[in-house]
Amino acid sequence: MADTRLEIQQLGEFGLIDRIAEKFSRVHAASIKTIGDDAAVIAGSEEVTLVSTDMLLEGVHFDLSYVPLQHLGYKAVAVNVSDIAAMNGTPKQIVMGLALSNRFSVEAIDIFYEGVRAACISYGVDLVGGDTTSSASGLVISVTILGTAPREQVTYRSGAKVNDILCVTGDLGAAYMGLQVLEREKQVFLTNPDMQPELERYEYMVGRQLKPEARMDIVHELAELKIVPTSMIDVSDGLASELLHIARQSEVGVKIFEDKIPIDNTAYETAIEFKIDPITAALNGGEDYELLFTIRPSDYEKLKNHADIHFIGHLHDNANQHVMISKQGTVVPLKAQGWDHFGR
């Protein structure tokens, strides 16, 4: 009988992570949380240390034909800060690894690190080390971030309870639509290099794609209000995917309402222009880097008037039922169809 080969794409990113995680057991009691959340949690004397790593690969995560190096440097830091924010922590230090081909000049790397420096200043983070090597192909960026949090305030994906309220910050789908605009303008340029890109009408969405912001402002505001979310995750792979992560790890069901999902007007109109359902962009687009979190019903009064936090649904006791109620009242099953890291 011929051996069968299991392709990574068949498992998907999260199936692969689960497969790796099940082969390892903890050796140190200080490793409070290992694989499976936005960051690992390591015990300290009074505070825990949060650790997370992200990689960005040219041709997979970014296209230098339309991504400015300075924005790329900023984004490389911001997406890691977002992981610490999702744990309800404070970012402190990063180490950065770069693999460079010989087409990059020293001046180009200076520009990249201007973006890194701007993000470090913005989020109060120190660049404390890293590694640089050569690459036979494109640019590879690897960032590891360290943060801290009081042990009792760390927020995991697994802490949500039945009847908790689902909250999301900002708006969703704009970064995905920004990517569609950039890809379209790239194709126009390749067809006719004399054509200038038309980006004025899409400035907000393009900005959300090229230079996202981690929502540390929300983390600080929740602390001021003495609210510790019962669970939290950042929206990097699409709202539907992140909802299902919380549901699976907290062993609860999800019920959200289409008319409560925040979508920016320009993103909505652009989705229609591109013949994309705006709600599909919000549910499955990804790279918004907003925060999705759950709160106890008793904390609702503290947040109900917050202009940038939206209440999109609640959790229930059927851990096998995850649905969205459409504007017409139809029950739609939620499916994770966000960013496929191995499907490109």
Of the candidates 210, 88, 95, the one whose C-alpha atom is nearest the C-alpha of residue 150 is: 88
Give the up-direction half-sphere exposure of residue 225: CA atoms within 13 A in the CB hemisphere: 19
| Average pLDDT of the residues of the chain | 91
Q: State how far the Cα of 274 lies from the Cα of 317, in Å rounded to an integer.
A: 38
Q: Domain 8-153's class?
A: alpha beta
| Residue 181 CB neighbours (<10 A) | 22
For the cut 90, the answer to whether the pLDDT of residue 337 exceeds it is no
Q: What is the pLDDT of residue 342?
A: 41
Q: What is the architecture, at CATH level 2, of domain 165-333?
A: Alpha-Beta Complex (3.90)
Is residue 227's pLDDT more than 90?
yes
Q: At what angle do helices 265-273 and 174-191 cross, to 10 degrees?
A: 40
Map residue 44 onto helix, strand or coil: coil
Between residues 194 and 149, which one has the greater pLDDT? 149
> Which residue's entry shows tokens 């009408």?
201
Which of these, 247, 233, 242, lies nearest to 314 by C-alpha position? Answer: 247
Residue ranges of the domains in the chain? 8-153, 165-333
Output phi, psi for 204, to 5 deg: -60, -45
What's the pLDDT tens digit per position in 258-289?
Answer: 999 999 999 999 999 999 999 999 999 999 99
Does residue 2 register a pLDDT over 60?
A: no
Residue range 85-125, pLDDT digits in tens = 999 999 999 999 999 988 889 999 999 999 999 999 999 99
Q: What is the pLDDT, as a whole number, of residue 341?
A: 46
11-38 mean pLDDT: 71
CA dist 225 and 217 (Å) reads 12
With beta carbons less than 8 A apart as the criterion, state whether 60 and 341 touch. Answer: yes
